[in-house]
Structures are given as structure tokens and as C-alpha cells.
Amino acid sequence: MRIKDLIMVSMRNLWRRKLRTSLTILGVVIGTASIVLMVSLGIAMNQNFIKEIERMGSLTTINVYPSYRYDPMMDKNPSGGSVDEGMITDMTVASFESIPGVAIASPVLELSLKMTADKYVSWIQLKGIKPALLEVQKLKIAEGRLLEEQDKLAFLFGSEVAYGFYDPLSSGGGMWYYQEGNEERMPPPVDLMTARLKASYDMNFGEKAPPGGTGMKPVRPYNITAIGIIEGQGEHAYSVYTTLDQARAIKIEQDRYNASVSGTETSGTGSKKKTVETYNNAIVQVEDIDQVETVIETIKGMGFEAYSLMEYLKSMQNTSNAIQMVLGGIGAISLLVAAIGITNTMIMSIYERTKEIGVMKVIGAKMKDIKKMFLIEAAMIGFLGGATGLVISFGGSKILNFVGKNISLFGMGGGGVDTQLSVIPLWLYILAIVFTTLVGLISGYLPAVRAMKLSVLSALRTE
């Protein structure tokens, strides 16, 4: 028989027993919808993890720190090496850049400064870096531009820095916050791009001097130019950036001032014991996400501490995969029950059509045609059940995401991240329909073999 004829005969046979066929298909529908929705919850969880991590910062950025806490009173580090060993210097940063897969490495020189914007005051954490690092990281700018090497007394601000300014004369401190239950946020007290900015390492700068004065020499503040505001949240949101040269210049003056106040002498770049300039930490930007783990291991092998958001993501993904396996297993139980139902339906069909099978053999039907007919019927049940289950899964996914969105609107969502409770990718649709069809074929195999081997004489005697 032609395959077209076999399909038509199989469809008629299923249609003749509509109720039984419908109930069997219903079992497959429930099994398919269960397993697809369960797996979609795990996929959504994994994607939400990635979104949250990416909101925190780049997955290809590695933060490098010294392997021990530097003690200026010691001539050796705890591991027995020299003071400079294990510290981050220009030479070690150059060695980081030579690691295969590294796009750029930059030292980070951090300074705590007091800044004023018109009448408002704030503490800022200034970070001196290579401007090229920000270009490689492809930072998005809300206003202005990125840093350039030739910039002098120019700062690049994170999106949250402006909210840290307060009016020192205000009794409430003047801090700006999110309002609970309201998506809209009050504007910051200052516009850093237009305000008159000054910065100083004097702790009392911008504040009202205490009665009797501080006894400290006055410090001339720096006139600062805001060149840009970084867009979005994440690791850059609360940071202020300038060039390495500018940060060094400020630090040299700060160290000289502190030395003059304390009555000690320093070298041009810091304490008299250190002859090599060291940095708080370094940032290593990797070219490809697949190379991050290898680069981290290489840096750790050089005697430094290295951290990346990839490590947190992997931990989250392991948790997500475990949950996904449990949820998928629960759905698979429903599909297993449906497979047993298909086998039962096909066996009952053989008992009811025994005489029909005998007649088919007498008039010349081939054994393989009879086997194919039953296999096609079983596959059709699996296919129709799978297709219907996918439609229900699609609707269920939309409902879950709608409910999740409303929960987020009422302030119960995930901290500004556009989360989804259920995600069904195209590959899951394809895999589900192929899998349910195969389940039907496998479930119908033994009944098909049984029908093929049925004795003609026994079949014809059957009433």
C-alpha cells in the first residue's frame, strides 16, 4: 500500500473510535503541556539570572585584586615574598594584557573625595583608569561623551552619583530615593552636566566649619568638568571615572598635604617605603565570554585574586538546571502515563479489529503494511496530542507572564529587571512535537508487531 493510503486508512480508523481516540490524545495533551510548561519555567529562570547579572555588569569583565592585605609596617608579605610581590603595578597589568584572550587591562587608582555641585555636597569614589577600557566595554552614555586621554580635571559620572548629593543645611539630609509603589522616580537634586562642580580631598569641604575651626591648612579645591553620564544601572552606576594621569596628580597632592599635616616626608607618589607605584585593583576585559574562566585561572596562577560575574552566573545556572530537571521530571511522569494510554488503546484496537486484520491478510495485504498502519495510528495520536499540548502551553505561558507582569507592577517584581515567568523557545516547540510523535511510535510498536503476527485462521473465526 502507498503511504498516502495507509495514512487515510489510519485516520478513518481513529475517527471511527472518536471517544477513545480523544481520551488518549487528551492524555498526551496533558503530558506535553506539563513537561513544556515545567521546562519553560526553568528556561525563564535561567534567562532572568542572565539579565540580572548583565544588569550588574559585563560578563567579560574580570576584577583583579592583590593576593594579600598590604601592611606598610612589614618588609615581607605573609607568603614570604617581598612587599611588591603580589601587588598590582604597571608591570603586572602589562602581564595581564599579554594573556591570550584579553582585550585590554587597566589599573584602577581609587580616591575618596568630597565634591560640591552648587550648594549640594557628596562623597565620591573617584577611579582613575585607562579611557580605552571604557571604549572596549562599549558603555552607553546617557549624556555627554566618554573619557579621553587628554582630558584634564574631567569626570565621567555613573547614573546614580547625582542622587548621592545632599544639602548640608537641610535637616533631612536631602537624600533622594525611589518611592514605594511608584515606578516613577524623583529627579536628582543636581544636574551634574550643568552644575558648578568642585572636588577636594579636604574632609570638611562644602560643610559648615566647626566652631573654632579645624586647625587644618585650607585646601584649594579642583574645578571639575562633567563630560558625561553613564546610562543604566550596574557596576558603573555609583562610580566616578577620570584618567589615570589625573588621578595620580590628585593623589600626589593629597599625599603631600597629608605628609605636611602629619610632619612626615614622602616621595612623589606616596610613602617613602614604596618605590613602585601600586594600585587598588585592576580591571581585565576579555574578548569572548568563553575565555573568561581560562583567563581567571591564569591570573590566579600568577598569585592574584580574580573575580567575575561569570562565577556567580555559573552558580545560578547550576541551581537553575537542577530545578529544571526536577520540573521536567514531573512533566515527564504525565507523558509516561500518556504513553501507557496509547499502548492500551492500540491493543484494544487490535482486539476489536481482529477479523478486519484477517480479511486484509486474505486479500493480499503485506505484513509490513499492517504494521505500518498501526504505527501510523499511534504516531498520529502522539502528534495530535503534542500539537494540541503546545497550543495550550503557549496560552499557559502567556497567562503566567501576564500574571508575573502584574505582580511586578504592584512592586513585587525583581528590582527593575523585565522578568518573565515562562519562556518557550522555538527549539522546545520542535523538540516537543518530535518527542511526542516518537513516544506514539514507540508506544504503538508492540501492538503493531502483535497485529502483524496475528494468525489469519484465528482472525477469521473471531466474531
Q: Of 192, 176, 218, which is closest to residue 116 (Cα–Cα)?
A: 192
Judge whether 166 and 175 are in contact, CB under 8 Å: yes
Query: Can you give the pLDDT at residue 414?
Result: 47
Structural domain contains residue 151: yes
Judge whether 440 and 391 are in contact, CB under 8 Å: no
The reply to whether 179 and 264 lie within a common domain is yes
Alpha helices per DSSP H over 159-243: none
Local confidence band at 211 (pLDDT 50, 70, 90 cut-offs): low
The reply to whether 127 and 270 lie within a common domain is yes
Q: pLDDT tens-digit profile of 445-455?
A: 887 777 777 66
The reply to whether 271 and 358 lie within a common domain is no
The CA distance from 369 to 441, in Å, is 15
For 173, other C-beta atoms within 10 Å of its C-beta total: 8
Element (H, E) at 106: strand 102-117
Last residue of a domain, one of 278, 304, 325: 278
The CA distance from 240 to 397, in Å, is 42
Element (H, E) at 154: strand 154-157
The CA distance from 217 to 401, in Å, is 62
The residues near 405 (Cβ < 8 Å, ≥ 6 apart) are: none
Question: How confident is the model over 284-299, as a mean pLDDT?
Answer: 90
Q: pLDDT tens-digit profile of 343-355?
A: 888 777 777 666 6
Q: Of 235, 240, 238, which is closest to residue 197 (Cα–Cα)?
A: 240
Question: How confident is the model over 89-115, as a mean pLDDT?
Answer: 92
Structural domain contains residue 64: no
The reply to whether 454 and 369 lie within a common domain is yes
3-state secondary structure 306-330: EEEHHHHHHHHHHHHHHHHHHHHHH
Last residue of a domain, one of 229, 251, 278: 278
Higher pLDDT, 371 or 362: 371
Q: Is the pLDDT of residue 370 over 90?
A: no
Q: Is the pLDDT of residue 325 over 90?
A: no
The domain tally of the chain equals 2
Local confidence band at 187 (pLDDT 50, 70, 90 cut-offs): confident
Structural domain contains residue 93: no
Last residue of a domain, one of 253, 278, 303: 278
The reply to whether 227 and 120 lie within a common domain is yes
Q: pLDDT tens-digit profile of 13-26?
A: 778 788 888 888 89
The reply to whether 249 and 334 lie within a common domain is no
Q: What are phi and psi of 109, to 5 degrees?
A: -105, 110
For 200, other C-beta atoms within 10 Å of its C-beta total: 19
Q: For residue 253, give the amino acid letter.
A: E
Local confidence band at 405 (pLDDT 50, 70, 90 cut-offs): confident
The reply to whether 126 and 257 lie within a common domain is yes
The reply to whether 166 and 271 lie within a common domain is yes
The residues near 48 (Cβ < 8 Å, ≥ 6 apart) are: 414, 417, 419, 420
The set of cell numbers assigned to 145 is 561623551
Structural domain contains residue 220: yes
Structural domain contains residue 87: no
Structural domain contains residue 369: yes
In the chain, DSSP finds a helix count (H) and a strand count (E) of 11, 10
Segments forming the whole domain that contains residue 223: 114-278
Judge whether 286 and 101 are in contact, CB under 8 Å: yes
Structural domain contains residue 75: no
Q: Is the pLDDT of residue 84 over 60?
A: no
The reply to whether 123 and 223 lie within a common domain is yes
Query: Which residue spans within 356-439 are E strands per DSSP?
Result: none
The reply to whether 447 and 321 lie within a common domain is yes
Judge whether 168 and 208 are in contact, CB under 8 Å: yes
The reply to whether 267 and 414 lie within a common domain is no
The reply to whether 349 and 202 lie within a common domain is no
Structural domain contains residue 170: yes
